[in-house]
Amino acid sequence: MSVLFLVLPLALLIVAVAVGAYVWATRSGQLDDLDTPAIRMLHDEPGTARRGEGHRER
């Protein structure tokens, strides 16, 4: 009896968990809008350093 009989079902279990996570994410609407979250990443959290930390070149 080789280890394959243990490993293969284990791998399938992991796949099942991954698929479960994917299904949960989809059904809870996390994949509805893929464009705006990309833009929102550019926004600062309110309350963090307000003073601009941009380059001051001159």
Which spans of this chain sit near other proteins (rule: CB under 8 A)?
2, 4-5, 8, 12, 15, 18-19, 22-23, 26-27, 29, 31-33, 35-36, 39-40, 42-43, 46
> Judged by CB, which is closer to other proteins: 1, or 55?
1
> Judged by CB, which is closer to other proteins: 37, or 51?
37
Smallest distance from the beta carbon of 8 to other proteins, in angstroms? 6
Put residue 8 in one of left, alpha, beta given phi > 0 → left and psi -120 to 50 → alpha.
alpha
In sign, the C-alpha dihedral spanning 20, 24, 26, 30 is: negative
In sign, the C-alpha dihedral spanning 39, 40, 41, 43 is: positive
